[in-house]
Amino acid sequence: MKLFGLMAAALFCAGVAQGAEFPKSGLIADRGLAEKDFPRWKTIEPDIYVYEDTHSPDADGSVIGTVSLIVVTSDGVVLMDGQGDPQDGKRLVDTIKKITPQPLKYVVTASDHIDHVGGNAEIKAAFPNAVFISSPASQKVLAKSAVVPSETVADKRVLKVGDTEFQILNLGRAHTGGDLAVYLPQTKVLFLGEIYARDIFPSQRSSYPSEWVETLKKAKAMDVSWYIPGHGFVDSMAEMKRDLDASLKIQEYIVAEGKRLHALGLPCTNEGKPPVCEASKQVNWGPFAAVPQTKGKQDLAIGRVYMEIEGKLPPNS
């Protein structure tokens, strides 16, 4: 039975790899863009704006975008995720003020990582009455930060601002221990933050690998027109949905390969900086090998699955 199980896992992985395509890249250079071209924003629905600024360079020197969502209602502005540092926060504030004279009412922290909260002090300074909302887990992570969320959502909260409804959702742990998503039912826009990393290798440094798979499946099952990622470009509705599928496929592949290698008893110490996982050298990444920003992340990905199998993941991180 054990041999059959391992063969089935290998066939599953091969099938996933053969069925996956990654026709685009999340790197700004591959779009013919440079950091000077940011920040930039565009309207995807009336009064709903996707905002992109640049993330700090990855280990290989590549640069991606970090995405925020700005929603203007009849009674103020709601922001989903900030940006990475004070300068980025100031530029985001300036953009909101260019878009509308209305005040910022709420900031929903979908991801508590620094690239999404590092500019929050500047946002708070510009809009001192803005209420910051996060999951309870993210509130703990941010307890010593410049801006600590004052309100939390453990499961679901319906927020009505003017005539616009926001459903703040905990779909499950994924990239962090405190991921939130925000759904706008009137326009069917779903902001996923770092649950959805579009056209880049999904970083697993604080992930819950198998739960991430299930969280993406929940997002896929929702009635959504626009899937908005925390990183990567926002193109057409169809492209965003297609690449959400691609993000799910690579996450499934990481989990399946980690389980296969662990069952074979291959070692994965996952130690060092960057961490080294000997077992990951046995992975045939297939089409996923060309996904941007893989350097140093494949060992960490398999290592994180090993930690999950062995019960070594923290309750939240």
Q: DSSP string of 269-291?
A: --BTTTTB-GGGGG---GGGGGS
Q: What pLDDT, on the 0 to 100 scale, is given for residue 273?
A: 73
Q: Is the pLDDT of residue 311 over 70?
A: yes
Q: For residue 169, what are the contacts with CB-CB under 8 A and spacing of at least 6?
A: 153, 155, 156, 180, 181, 182, 183
Within 13 Å of residue 157, how many CA atoms lie on the same side as its CB? 14
Q: What pLDDT, on the 0 to 100 scale, is given for residue 24?
A: 76
Say if 296 falls within a structural domain: no
Tell me the CA distances in angstroms from 136 to 107, 114, 130, 178, one per residue in order.
Answer: 15, 17, 18, 7
Per the structure, how many domains does the chain have?
1
Q: Is the pLDDT of residue 2 over 60?
A: no
Of 152, 223, 239, which is closest to residue 184 (Cα–Cα)?
223
Tokens for 64? 């991606």
Q: What is the distance between the alpha carbons of residues 173 and 287, in angstroms, rounded to a whole number?
A: 26
Q: What pLDDT, on the 0 to 100 scale, is given for residue 276?
A: 81
Q: Is the pLDDT of residue 158 over 80?
A: yes
Q: Is the pLDDT of residue 8 over 80?
A: no
pTM for the full predicted model:
0.92
Say if 55 falls within a structural domain: yes
Q: What is the distance between the alpha carbons of residues 64 and 296, in angstroms, rounded to a whole number?
A: 16
Q: What secondary structure letter does DSSP report for 295?
A: T
Say if 10 falls within a structural domain: no
Q: Mean pLDDT across the stretch 217-240?
A: 98
- For 206, the 3-state DSSP assignment is coil
Q: Mean pLDDT across the stretch 119-128?
A: 98
Q: Is the pLDDT of residue 12 over 80?
A: no
Contact call for residues 68 and 108 (beta carbons, < 8 A): no
Say if 5 falls within a structural domain: no
Say if 297 falls within a structural domain: no
pLDDT classification of 98: cutoffs 50, 70, 90: very high
Whole-number mean pLDDT of the chain?
92
Say if 32 falls within a structural domain: yes
* pLDDT, tens digit, 9 for 90 and up, residues 264-277: 999 998 777 767 89
Domain harbouring 189, CATH code: 3.60.15.10
Of 195, 202, 194, 196, which is closest to residue 298 (Cα–Cα)?
202
Q: What pLDDT, on the 0 to 100 scale, is given for residue 17?
A: 44
Q: Is the pLDDT of residue 173 over 80?
A: yes
Q: What pLDDT, on the 0 to 100 scale, is given for residue 73?
A: 98
Q: Is the pLDDT of residue 287 over 90?
A: no
Say if 31 falls within a structural domain: yes
Q: What pLDDT, on the 0 to 100 scale, is given for residue 317?
A: 55
- The boundaries of the domain holding residue 131 are 25-243
Q: Residue 107's Cα: distance from chain center in Å? A: 17
Say if 101 falls within a structural domain: yes
Q: What is the distance between the alpha carbons of residues 249 and 253, in angstroms, rounded to a whole number?
A: 6
Q: What pLDDT, on the 0 to 100 scale, is given for residue 14?
A: 44
